[in-house]
DNA sequence: ACCGGCCATACGCTGAGCGTATGGCCCCAC
DNA sequence: GTGGGGCCATACGCTCAGCGTATGGCCGGT
């Protein structure tokens, strides 16, 4: 209806009019809109001036609809009822499905998210998370999820992307292992045990290479098929693992892991939280994105002395 | 529908959504609202974020409604159609009756308004004026008119009031009379003729008294039953009349009347334009009020040297 | 007579909504 | 294959529509 916008002074004036007519007073309508009584008074006066007629008569008891006001109120009431019904149906469908699907790595979920999941659900009581878990390196399409963590640039293109954490790698081990075996670049009587993630598609040499020192002794290694298990083994004192900060920041902050070397690898790339454009970008998705970012920033700030 | 305002991010978003759905593009909807394309794009995105779903899919060809979008568009279209029908009926009724009823004095209409009526109708081509004419002193209820001139404070209470002109009285006569007979306080061989308005309710002595000088000679007087006629007689050189500036400002400006005395009576009161609250205060009523005020201020400015 | 509650209006403040600039993408004509 | 046109999306900065506060006027109840 192209004409409707031209017939009223502002889009909101009909909402205000309907509320004032239903409530019978400016004050009551104002409370409903969380504004003050003069605001409603002006809005109604503006609508009446625009239309060139009185919609209400005023008395100390409040507002009484005129004949024209009653005619308009019936039409507006019916029109709004039709629209509200459709909107309510849409919102109800959304509310039933307050499922939010996330695509994260096992390590991130196990060692970063689950420790704070209680606080998450306290902050988001109506959300029901579903995780698509990636065993190790975050890659692959994430299609039908609300939010995913991936590296940028990557193969997923038709999506929103927000930077989340830098790709920063530090060798980590348990405090006991460090005490007993020394750091990665120090000599020790027995070779270090390197805890590896078995990923034929990942060139881990580009990470280990810069981390070895000139006197780094020969080492043994153990490979696991899931990076979350790699991190767990490091926590258990079984060796030294590559620690992607985005996954181990919580453990570093808690002290269950410590740096096993003074060296770091900063790739210059960054993990991003991403949302496909084929899904609606919901308010709750944005709120979760923000929550995750705030938490990650807090973690990184807490362990910044370890990463310098 | 209290809930509708809470279901949408802003009142205008549904208007914008409907236009975009109907037009099939942000650009076309933007042109309809006299805004730019980014404004519509943001408004739609905000509505989608608020509702937590996509209403349109985007392509280079414009916007295509999703299933939810189509459901909402049907409901909004029907709702708006219902409202617009009622509004259009109200506006049509108002447009047919573009009659504006005015309650003014005969003198004001005859000697002030009619000289500028051509310019008035050029400025208000769709207005059809109806005058309630008051023979002399502006008083009495004016009930069912759009705009009235009255003195404040007065007996009409339930109305809007805007100050229009001060009550300033100057004796006036034609230039020829002044040349032949001298001013009111000067002596002359024959007594002055005072032109009076016969109003038993009006105490004219309070006006004539301050205007007579200590050497004002005895005079004869002629009384008329209509003040417009009194002013006309003064213009015709038949004597000296009390000149209420609000009625004679045009004639003083044109030179068809001149002051017959250097004395003035300023009562401190003021004429007001008034609109009853029992009638709708229309935009056009306000526009006429403003037009009249601008014209009166211009007249008073033009003759200010005569009134000092 | 006073108080409470209604609506109306003037004044000053501010953030929602805007335009501009720009980027990305797709389609079509040459 | 390339360039231009037209679509939508987003960042940045600006401004005035809409707001709150203060206040006034009025009416009804105590």
Domains of chain B: 4-96 (1.10.10.10), 102-307 (3.40.190.290)
pLDDT tens-digit map of B2-43? 578 888 888 889 999 999 999 899 999 998 888 899 999 999
pLDDT in the model for residue A95: 59
State the nearest Cα–Cα gap between A98 and chain B, in angstroms.
Answer: 10
pLDDT tens-digit map of B265-301? 888 888 888 888 877 777 888 888 888 988 888 888 8
10 Å CB burial of residue B209 (0-12, 13-18, 19+) is exposed
Whole-angstrom distance, CA of residue B214 vs CA of residue B123: 49
Q: Where are the alpha helices (DSSP H) in A214-255?
A: 227-235, 245-254
pLDDT in the model for residue B17: 93
Whole-angstrom distance, CA of residue A86 vs CA of residue B190: 90
Q: Does A58 touch chain B (CB under 8 A)?
A: yes
Residue A57 CB partners (closer than 8 Å, separation 6+): A63, A64, A66
- One pLDDT digit (tens) per residue for chain A, 308 residues: 457 888 888 888 999 999 999 999 999 999 888 889 999 999 999 998 888 888 998 888 889 998 889 999 999 999 999 999 898 888 777 656 567 888 888 888 888 888 787 678 777 777 778 888 877 677 767 767 888 898 876 676 778 888 888 888 888 988 888 888 888 777 566 678 888 887 766 667 677 777 766 656 567 778 787 788 888 888 888 888 888 888 888 888 888 888 988 888 888 888 889 888 877 787 888 888 888 988 888 888 888 888 76
Q: Which pLDDT band, with edges at 50, 70 and 90, does B74 fall under? A: very high
Whole-angstrom distance, CA of residue B248 vs CA of residue B169: 10
Q: Does A94 touch chain B (CB under 8 A)?
A: yes
Of A290, A92, A101, the closest CA to residue B52 belongs to A92
Give the three-class secondary structure for A188. Answer: coil
Residue B111 CB partners (closer than 8 Å, separation 6+): B228, B231, B232, B247, B248, B250, B251
The beta-carbon neighbor of B1 closest among A80, A91, A94 is: A80
* Peptide bond between residue A157 and the one before it cis (omega within 30 degrees of 0): no
Pairing of strands B56-59, B62-65: antiparallel
CA torsion B275-B279-B281-B282 (nearest 10°) is -120
pLDDT in the model for residue B237: 83
What ipTM goes with this model?
A: 0.51
State the nearest Cα–Cα gap between B3 and chain A, in angstroms.
Answer: 7
Q: Phi then psi for A294, rounded to 5 degrees?
A: -60, -45
Chain D footprint positions (protein CB, under 7 Å)? 5-11, 17-23, 25-28
Which chain A residues are closer than 8 Å to B8 by Cβ? 87
Q: From the CB of residue B122, how many other CB atoms can be counted at a distance below 10 Å?
A: 9
Which chain B residues are closer than 8 Å to A19 by Cβ? 2, 5
Report CB contact under 8 Å: B280, A54.
yes
The beta-carbon neighbor of A91 closest among B7, B48, B49 is: B7
Q: Which pLDDT band, with edges at 50, 70 and 90, does B73 fall under? A: very high
């Amino acid at each position: 209806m192209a004409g409707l916008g031209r017939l009223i002074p502002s889009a909101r004036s009909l909402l205000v009019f309907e509320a004032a007519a239903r409530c019978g007073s400016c004050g009551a309508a104002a409370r409903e809109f969380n504004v003050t009584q003069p605001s409603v008074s002006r809005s109604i006066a503006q609508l009446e001036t625009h239309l060139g007629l009185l919609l209400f008569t005023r008395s100390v008891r409040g507002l009484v609809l005129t004949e024209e006001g009653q005619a308009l109120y019936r039409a507006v009431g019916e029109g709004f009822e039709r629209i509200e019904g459709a909107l309510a149906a849409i919102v109800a469908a959304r509310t039933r499905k307050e499922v939010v699907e996330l695509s994260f790595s096992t390590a991130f979920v196990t060692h970063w998210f689950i420790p704070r999941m209680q606080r998450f659900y306290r902050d988001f009581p109506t959300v029901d998370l579903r995780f698509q878990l990636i065993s190790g390196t975050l890659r692959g399409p994430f299609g039908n999820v609300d939010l995913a963590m991936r590296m940028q640039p990557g193969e997923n293109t038709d999506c929103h992307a927000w930077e989340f954490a830098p790709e920063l790698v530090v060798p980590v081990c348990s405090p006991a292992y460090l005490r007993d075996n020394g750091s990665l670049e120090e000599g020790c009587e027995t070779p270090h045990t390197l805890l590896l993630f078995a990923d034929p598609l990942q060139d881990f040499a580009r990470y280990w290479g810069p981390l070895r020192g000139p006197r780094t002794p020969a080492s043994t290694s153990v490979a696991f098929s899931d990076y979350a298990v790699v991190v767990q083994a490091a926590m258990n004192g079984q060796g030294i693992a590559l620690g992607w900060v985005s996954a181990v920041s919580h453990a570093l902050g808690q002290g269950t892991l410590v740096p096993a070397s003074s060296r770091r690898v900063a790739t210059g790339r960054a993990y991003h939280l991403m949302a496909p454009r084929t899904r609606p970008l919901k308010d709750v998705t944005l709120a979760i994105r923000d929550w995750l970012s705030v938490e990650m920033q807090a973690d990184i700030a807490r362990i910044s002395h370890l990463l310098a």
